[in-house]
Amino acid sequence: MIRHEKRGLAFALPLVCQQCEHAACIDACPADALSRDPQQSTLSIDHEACTACGDCCGACPIGCIFIDGGSDVAFACDLCKGEPQCVAFCHAGCLTLVDYGPDEEEHRVQRLVDILKAEPFAGAPPERSQ
């Protein structure tokens, strides 16, 4: 589930869940529907428990968890169980699966936040596509 921030015709920034070790979305969920998958170390969503309140969406610093309009529950990237289809299908070769260490978590998330705060992204409404 990738969100695209567009900057004119020449630049687009694909944004995907950073699988934060200290995930603001998990902390924000009042229904305990979010957790870390013990096998995959990815964000796990209990769709039975999700109430679609949207608190996780507001908490994610880069807007990478969504309420699906059809099923009315939260969705985010789960890394396709280790075989990311977006990487396989990107014909331009723009996407790579990178295994970051926990020490790099704050840096990589903050870097994306800084980019999104920069002109002309600043103030742009979330344009979320899956």
Within residues 41-60, the interface with ligand SF4 by CB under 6 A covers 43, 45, 50-56, 60
Q: Which is nearer to ligand SF4, 7 or 42 (CB)?
A: 42
> CB of 8: closest distance to ligand SF4 in angstroms?
24
| 77 lies in the binding site for ligand SF4 (CB under 6 A) | yes
Q: Are 47 and 68 in contact (CB under 8 A)?
A: no
Q: Looking at residue 105, what DSSP letter applies?
A: H
Q: Please, where are the H alpha helices in 48-84?
A: 55-59
Residue ranges of E strands in the chain:
3-7, 11-15, 34-36, 43-45, 65-67, 74-76
Q: How far apart are CA 39 and CA 60, in angstroms?
A: 23
- Residue from 13, 86, 90, 115 touching ligand SF4 (CB under 6 A): that is 86
Tokens of 89: 């299908």
- Residue from 7, 35, 68, 80 touching ligand SF4 (CB under 6 A): that is 80
- The DSSP bridge partners found for residue 35 are 44
- Residue from 84, 90, 108, 128 touching ligand SF4 (CB under 6 A): that is 84
The residue ranges that bind ligand SF4 (CB under 6 A) are 1-2, 16-20, 23-25, 28-29, 31, 33-34, 43, 45, 50-56, 60, 62, 64-65, 67, 74, 76-80, 84-86
